[in-house]
Each structure stands twice: as structure tokens, then as C-alpha cells.
Amino acid sequence: MSEAGSGLNPDIGSRRGPLWFLAEVTYRCPLQCAYCSNPVDFANEKDELSTEEWIRVMREVRELGAVQLGFSGGEPLVRKDLEELVAEASRLGFYTNLITSGVGMDADRLARLKEAGLDHIQISFQAATASLSDDVAGRTQFEHKEAMAREIRRQGYPMVLNVVLHRRNLDQIDEILQMAADLEADYVELANTQYHGWAYVNRKALMPTMKQLTHAEEVANRWREKMAGKMRIYYIWSDYYEGKPKPCMNGWGTTFIGVNPDGRVMPCHGAAMLPGPPLPNVRERDLNWIWNESELFNRFRGLDWMQEPCRSCDKRFEDFGGCRCQAYLLTGDAAATDPTCHLSPLHQQVRDAVESAEEEPRVMVEQPLILRNAKNSKALREKFGSRPKVADAETME
């Protein structure tokens, strides 16, 4: 989830339900971001939930206590019934967030969404220039996105401008922040790439040098001072470079619930790639059962599932052992300590990846990006089966 604002607090008394509901209403998307967090084999997924099914799901998740609803994807604007979904979400008392690239948006649609009760828009930019934007995400219609960001502000929405940072755009940080200031964003979220999903497939091409990262942070700090009181700036490091894991989802099954386009329910964005029984589906079970009783939501709930070094570590109450999907991706064991932690016995793998990003020749001969599109998704799936062990996918041409 996003880091805008101070985030959702997991330590709320006796609360048992989720707070944050991510509705991935479609995997269809006009963009092809090489770091997309969707499953690598998304092109295999069809059969999106209908309007009525989404409405039932929203009602059930709201009854569990969730207050924030993010409409995401894919590109949620692709859904013709988005206004209808937003209206129902708003009526149910959710704070409604639209997470969009702005591609496919127009002023009329924005006005209709506003009328439906949409509270806030997070618009993503891929870079500060059209050419780089297109390099990492296909045809991004950069000028149209800028026009839409202006329109979002003109219509009075609060706006978060989100940029995923990596080797190719980190050196544009000053231009990116200038753009955000010109577009009058309320919040800017500068999120360094997390290496899951497509970003893992493209890890070699995306990982920056330490110098790029620290320089970008310095620039962000300068802008933060300059824009104090006008624009809030969040600069988020990648766990690979920090030597400590992220407190994944504020703890598994405590705060976050996500529903895939086809109705599968996830305790984190990446859970579709974990081994084990099929994910629980809203078409088979109600959300109360899925949240409270399903094996998946209880698998890493609490601290009892932990192995050493997590099991006896003081930090386990803060980082919850890190990211389960990353642990599986890098070690083959979803219950292992996240290897981005310096205490993990496999931490050297992460160090090696970070160090290899420093090697000079890579600055000259850049790795090609595998863009997130149906063709590449099918190719990855054919090569590695329906749950690609993406560790092997790195060698893919």
C-alpha cells in the first residue's frame, strides 16, 4: 500500500477486521510498466467480477470494518462501471481512492466520478519526460497525463502524484519534483522499486547504484524544505538497500485485504504467487469467513509461524519478519526470514544484487526491459508454468 499520509495504524485496541481494501478491478491496462506489481502470469486470468459481485464484496468488506478503499488494477478506468462502484463505495462510508495512470481519463469522466463521491486520486507518472516514460512503460501519452493531473486539481480533488523510482529515472528526480510542484500535487510519493512481480523479472535492468539513491534522497529533502506546507514529499527506500525488511502489510492479516479481478482474495498484493492451496475466492466464500477462518489469512498471522532468526528477534514486533512473498521468491520458503534483513542467513544474495548494480560496465550496456504485456506474460507462463518461479525468469530474452 501507499505511504501517503502517516499510513494506517495496526495497533488499534481490539480491532480485528481489515482497514485497507484494495480492489484490483481489472488486469487490463494500456500501460506496460516493467515494474508492475501484478502477477507475472496475469494474462492467464479472465472472468472479471461483475458489478453486482463487486458491490457485494464491498459491502462485506465494509462490514468487517475497512475504511479505505483503493480502486486499482491494471487500469481501473478501463471498467465502464467504475462510477457505479465508486457511488456504492461512497454510500457504504468508504474513503474512496482511485489509483490510476490517467491514461483513458477525460474531464467528463472525472466530473462523473466526483459526483459519484470519489474522494481522492493517486496518479502515477513514470518519469519527467515523455521519452523515458515510454521506454519503461510503453505508450504512456505523457502530455495527456499532465493535462489530466491539471484537470484533477481543477476539479478540486486532493491529488497524490506517485512515481516508482529505479535506475533509469532516479537521475531525473529534480525534474520529477519540479513537475509535481507545477502540477500542484498535495502529496508526492517517490517509491523506490520493490523487486516483486515484473520488477523481479527486470531486476538487473532496474536496480540503481547507491549513489543514485542517496543523491535522489538529498534532492527530495531540498524540495521538502522548499515546499513545506504546500506539498508533502515521501521518499521511500527499497528494502534491498536498507539491510532491513519492510513491515509487510503491517502484519499479515491485520490491516490489508485485496481482491483480484477474478475474485481471489489476498492478504498482500503478491500472495497470488505463493505456493499452497488455491487462494480463497469471493465466489465461493463470504469475506467474513475468508478474513477470519481461511487458512491463507491465518498462515502468517501473529508470530508463531516464524523460524530463527526471526523467532527470537526483538525486531519481530516491528517488521513481522518482512515480506513473505519476497522470502519465497528469494529462498523458496515463504516462512523464511526475508533475505533483505541483514540477519538472514541468505542476506548475501541481496548484497550481491546490490553490489552488482554498482558495476561500471552496466552503465554503458544497459539491460533490456521486459515490458508488462500479454505477450511477455504468456511467454513467461509457457516457459515456467502457471506459477513461474521467477528466479529462473531472469535469463529470459
Partner 1 sequence: MSFAADTRVNLAHGMKFQWEPSQNSHVLLYPEGMVQLNDSASAILKYCDGRSVAEVLAALHEQFPDADLDGDVYAFLEDAHERGWIRTES
Note whether 341 binds partner 1 by CB under 8 A. Answer: no
Among 33, 77, 120, 127, binds partner 1 (CB under 8 A): 120
In the three-class reduction of DSSP (H, G, I as helix; E, B as strand; rest coil), residue 96 is classed as: strand
Least distance CB 285 / partner 1 (angstroms): 20
Note whether 7 binds partner 1 by CB under 8 A. Answer: yes
d(CA 327, CA 195): 11
Among 60, 151, 186, 242, binds partner 1 (CB under 8 A): 186
d(CA 382, CA 34): 19
Among 44, 65, 154, 228, binds partner 1 (CB under 8 A): 65
E strand or H helix at 191 = strand 187-192
Note whether 228 binds partner 1 by CB under 8 A. Answer: no
d(CA 361, CA 157): 45
Interface segment toward partner 1; rule CB under 8 A; list 28-36, 66-74, 217-225, 325-333: 66-74
Note whether 247 binds partner 1 by CB under 8 A. Answer: no
Least distance CB 288 / partner 1 (angstroms): 12
Question: Closer to partner 1 at the Cβ: 121 or 165?
Answer: 121
DSSP tally for the chain: helices H, then strands E = 18, 9
Least distance CB 181 / partner 1 (angstroms): 17
Note whether 89 binds partner 1 by CB under 8 A. Answer: no
d(CA 206, CA 18): 33
Question: Closer to partner 1 at the Cβ: 15 or 154?
Answer: 15
Q: What amino acid occupies position 267?
A: P
Burial 160-183 (b: 16+ CB within 10 A, else e): bbbbbbbbbbbbbbeebbebbbeb
Note whether 253 binds partner 1 by CB under 8 A. Answer: no
Residues with Cβ within 8 Å of 97's Cβ and at least 6 positions away in sequence, in order, are: 68, 69, 70, 71, 119, 120, 121, 122
Give contact residues for partner 1 (rule: CB under 8 A).
Answer: 1-2, 4-9, 12-13, 15, 17, 19-20, 64-65, 67-68, 70, 93, 95, 97, 119-120, 122, 156-158, 160, 186-187, 232
